[in-house]
Amino acid sequence: MRAPAPPALTVRLGLALLCGVVVAVLAAVAFAASVPLILTSWASSMGLITTATGTPPAAPWRVAGGHLVSGAVGLGFVLVAGPHDLAQLAAAPLPQQLAAAALIGLAVAVAVAAMWLTGALHPPAAANPAIALVSPLAAGLPYAALVLGGAVVLGLVSLVLHRWRMGRATG
């Protein structure tokens, strides 16, 4: 079975523009909430959603669910271990840096396992626990609200593009 032909250049440029607009809106929210590092996972998600629409990792449930699951894992790790300031970690002694690195690695591994177990594996969302652990303002309600809001926006964009792609394939 052959892969479907890529969309026309104008469609690809429109999808790239959509990606940029959605990331810009999410960036404004992340800056206002003082957790700008969350943009790394959101931008990666939008890149995947707009370029690989219809693939399993870009499916609406996986996008929204992956961010919710991994965000919850990140919040759990922050509540247990506390947030770490990235600038302070960079200047910390090597043993402290290695301990933080091990904690971040464990949090990401737990998030990936949780996404697999829930059927919501979305690779860009694996960054959420790392982001939570190195964002001093990521503890509590603002971070949870950001993760929830981002998951809803990304999930809706994925749903719209998925339905649009399915309509193009059948019609």
Tell me, yes or no, whether 2 lies in a domain: no
Can you give the pLDDT at residue 122? Answer: 96
Tell me, yes or no, whether 4 lies in a domain: no
Tell me, yes or no, whether 68 lies in a domain: yes
Q: pLDDT for 110-123, tens place per residue?
A: 999 999 999 999 99
Return averaged pLDDT per consecutive 10 residues of the chain, 171 residues in all. Answer: 67 88 90 82 92 91 97 93 84 93 96 97 95 79 87 94 74 51
Can you give the pLDDT at residue 1? Answer: 56
Tell me, yes or no, whether 111 lies in a domain: yes
Domain count, the chain: 1
Please state, in angstroms and as integers, the Cα–Cα distance from residue 163 to each residue in 26, 89, 94, 127, following that order: 22, 44, 49, 27
Tell me, yes or no, whether 3 lies in a domain: no
Can you give the pLDDT at residue 87? Answer: 81
Long-range CB contacts (within 8 A, 24+) of 106-110: 106/77, 107/73, 107/74, 107/77, 107/132, 107/133, 110/73, 110/77
How far is 75 from 47, CA to CA, in rounded Å?
Answer: 25
Tell me, yes or no, whether 14 lies in a domain: yes
pTM of the model: 0.87
Structural domain range at position 66? 9-170
